[in-house]
Amino acid sequence: MINNHDRVVTRGLRDVAAAETKISFVDPMGTLYYLGYNIDDLVEHVCSEEVVYLLLYSKLPTKNELGEFRAQLISEMTLPEAVIECIKSAPKSSHPMEVLRTAVSHLSMYDSDRDYKSEQANKKRAIRLVAKVPTIVATLHRIRTNQQLVAPNEEFSFPENFLYLFRGKPADSEEKNVIDRYMTLHADHGFNASTFAARVTASTNADMYSAVTSAIGTLKGPLHGGASEKVMYMLDDINTEEEVEAYIQGMLDNKRKIMGFGHRIYQTEDPRTKHLREMAENLCCLTDNLNLYNLCIRIENVVHEKKNIFPNVDFYAAVTLNALGVPFEFFTPFFASSRIAGWTAHVIEQYEDAVLLRPSSMYVGRYGRPFVPIEKRKAADNL
């Protein structure tokens, strides 16, 4: 018998490099790169469709390539009727992330060559998913609120169309800018839990829809993308800046995590936070809701003083989406609608790596238990 106690368990896989990647780098010192480009440059100078193109083709598009790519994305935004029916049939009590997970799984049955994995077929499928995931989210919202479904408009950019399909009215220039930057900032982030889940599924050579379904299920958790929705419940619970100190102390005394704070990799502020903080401030100003923004700043200061941790991407993303009129339970679906770009890029990279991701474990259970036939078994024997 192998003495498996010689194995080393790295709890939570902290600092374990599970594979090589060229897609994005999360520098613990507070910088994020997509394909070598600093996120700060991308969010200021390129649109989110260019970012999706970059993730899928490893280069920024020319003007012509961008025009064609945008048209392709928008033309792929429609859903098969059966998927719309599947969304309609979801119980009203289900969470939008449950419906999204199910609808993506359903979508796979309407891709007749889902198992065909040439490079070209994979890219085409990735574009299909990048385009259809936001439509699933928007469709669910329209159905839940008894509003007419809206068709994409070729005059609008892809992120603008997402907001348009969701809210049924064109975005103003500030909102266009915000949704575009939001989607860039959420497009990829190294081997985060949902991306890793997608890569594990892809490593078995399963189809891309299965990989994305795994990723959606993983993003849903409150320690990952589910945090942004919880941030808003916390902000709703605290009425004034004066209450912040006692509220946070109470959470910490009860060993509860403050949602939207802390990060596995960054030892300093998450590089996406400053952009989202600025967007949240502008929107709170425009919507006459500066009290909310000031409350956030107070929370940030108190949590930093007490725990020396910083807000992560989810904290100000929550305030930003709230100001755009997105209901709380749709925050994580908005995250998924942006991260789908990174997930599909990673799935393709994993197919190219062609290795099964299958770790070992350290067995700490018992050996050599005496077998007792069922007729002679007593409850106590099974302890």
Contact positions vs ligand COA (CB under 6 A): 12, 223-224, 227, 257-264, 307, 309, 312-314
Output the smallest distance, CB 295 to ligand COA, in A.
17
Nearer of residues 73 and 215 to ligand COA, judged by Cβ = 215
Q: Indicate the residue whose CB is closest to ligand COA.
A: 262
Output the smallest distance, CB 187 to ligand COA, in A.
14
- Which two tokens mark 99? 């419906």
Catalytic residue among 180, 188, 207, 314: 314
Output the smallest distance, CB 262 to ligand COA, in A.
2
Output the smallest distance, CB 97 to ligand COA, in A.
15
236 is catalytic: no
Output the smallest distance, CB 284 to ligand COA, in A.
20
Write the DSSP string, 42-104.
Answer: HHHHS-HHHHHHHHHHSS---HHHHHHHHHHHHHTT---HHHHHHHHTS-TTS-HHHHHHHHH
Give the position of tokens 């599970």.
18
Nearer of residues 135 and 337 to ligand COA, judged by Cβ = 337
What angle, 0 to 180 degrees and rounded to 10, lies between the N-to-C axes of helices 81-88 and 119-144? 40
Give the position of tokens 């108190």.
302
Nearer of residues 262 and 327 to ligand COA, judged by Cβ = 262
Nearer of residues 138 and 227 to ligand COA, judged by Cβ = 227
288 is catalytic: no
Q: What torsion do the CA atoms of 282, 283, 289, 293 make, to the nearest 10 degrees?
A: -60
Looking at the DSSP bridge assignments, the partners of residue 34 are 24, 37
**Hey, what amino acid is at 161?**
N
Catalytic residue among 106, 141, 263, 275: 263
8 Å CB contact between 209 and 100: no
Nearer of residues 14 and 366 to ligand COA, judged by Cβ = 14
10 Å CB burial of residue 38 (0-12, 13-18, 19+) is middle
> Catalytic positions, please?
263, 314
